[in-house]
A and B are shown apart, each in its own frame.
Chain A
């Protein structure tokens, strides 16, 4: 079974500044995938970034990047040049490998509510 832990229920950042959201996970799999999803007030889940565990290079998507520390089972999200539109609930999630043979479920953390201050 996989578990995902987000220890920061709430975070705030000043507009244009940088913020890092923490996430740790636990899995017995050697191959897995990690994700950050954003849920704005509309409640539509939006994929922010994904990381394949076998890739050592940290994923980057424009202002969003991750710090993937496989040995420490840590997967933090860095948001640079924060914008008002970044305000949302952010969920860290994991997914098992293709070899599991069954539908690959997402395991979500408890979420971090990010506030962006103007």
Chain B
């Protein structure tokens, strides 16, 4: 099956710093990538949808200036958490889809962000 990687798997940073998380589709071209946030023992909450070469679409309540998403190529999307604060600590998951016609999303292994 298709593989999606995320880097880093874990990151600890100080409050006020920015953190970048990468999501890569390793063996297919991802027209669309999705970013989710997951709190312990809760479901996945969609943060934003990004299409290659265009601006991301953010879900209601998600600060676009806080969570910067870039989808510069068909195999790479990045999520940058700017000026991170302890409340941004969470598990972030990306998924990738080969195209609009695809009903399949391939998930990355997730990134654990801890902000001190």
Please give the residue numbers on chain A whose beta carbons come within 8 Å of chain B beta carbons, in ascending order.
Answer: 33, 42-47, 50, 52, 89, 91, 95, 98, 101-106, 108-111, 113
Contact = CB atoms under 8 A, between A and B. Distances in A.
A45 B104 contact: no
Interface string B29-43: 000101000100111
B101 to A, nearest CB: 5
B51 interface: yes
A103 B49 contact: yes
A43 B110 contact: yes
B93 to A, nearest CB: 7
Given A108-B43, A108-B44, A111-B43, A43 B109 contact: yes
A103 B57 CA distance: 10
A43 B109 CA distance: 7
Contacts of B32: 103
Given A44-B110, A91-B43, A104-B102, 10 more contacts: A43-B38, A43-B93, A43-B110, A44-B107, A47-B104, A50-B103, A50-B104, A102-B100, A105-B46, A106-B95
B97 A104 contact: yes
B58 interface: no
A111 B103 contact: no
Interface in B78-116: 91, 93, 95, 97, 100-105, 107, 109-110
